[in-house]
Structure 1
Amino acid sequence: MATTQNNQQELQEQLDALRKDFAELTSTLKEMTANYAREGEENVKAAAGQAQQQLKQSLCKAQQEVESRPYTSMAVAFGIGLLLGKLLDR
């Protein structure tokens, strides 16, 4: 009888240890997932900021080109519009 009680107690202790280990594993996985998501978000924000900066630079260059050569810019815009009109007309 004592052996059965000892076995039950030992089994209960092992189950408690297993529950504790599982809780720690779950907690660790939760932390790892949160860190991974945070890093991904930071990477996306950095890439978006860099793309936005490049877009601003490109727009600034285009604006400077138009301001320095207004008639050429109008002729190019007219030609592109004509070309697109012909392509879309078909």
Structure 2
Amino acid sequence: MATTQATNQELQEQLDTLRKDFAEVTKTLREMTSAYAKESQDRVKVAAGQAQDQVKESFGKVQNEVESHPYSSMAVAFGLGLVLGKILDR
């Protein structure tokens, strides 16, 4: 009987150790996942900022071009409108 109780006690201690180890592994995985998500979020923010800057720059160039040649711009817009109208009319 004493051996059975000792064996049960050892098993209980091993289970407790496993639970603690599993809790540590879970904590580490959670921290790693959180750090990876933050890195990804930072990369997306940087890429979005760069894209926004490029769009602003392109819009500025187009606006300057339209202001420089207003009649040509109206003619091109009218022509594109006719072409799109014909394509969408079908």
**TM-score bin (small chain):** over 0.9
TM superposition score normalised by structure 1: 0.93
Give the deviation of 1:70 after TM superposition.
Answer: 1.0
Identity value in percent: 70
Root-mean-square deviation over aligned CA pairs = 1.0
1:18 corresponds to: 18
Normalised by the length of structure 2, the TM-score is 0.93
Counterpart mapping for 1:51-66 below 5 A:
51-66=51-66
Q: How many residues align?
A: 90
Pairwise CA distance, 1:52: 0.6
Which stretch shows the higher mean deviation, 2-11 or 59-68? 2-11
C-alpha distance in 1 between matches for 2:58 and 2:3: 81
Structure 2: runs of 5+ lacking an equivalent: none
Aligned to 2:67: 67
| Structure 1: gaps (5+ residues) | none
Q: Which amino acid aligns with 2:2?
A: A
Residue 29 in structure 1 maps to residue 29 in structure 2: yes
Task: Report the Cα offset of residue 5 of structure 1.
Answer: 2.0
Deviation at 1:44, TM superposition (A): 1.2
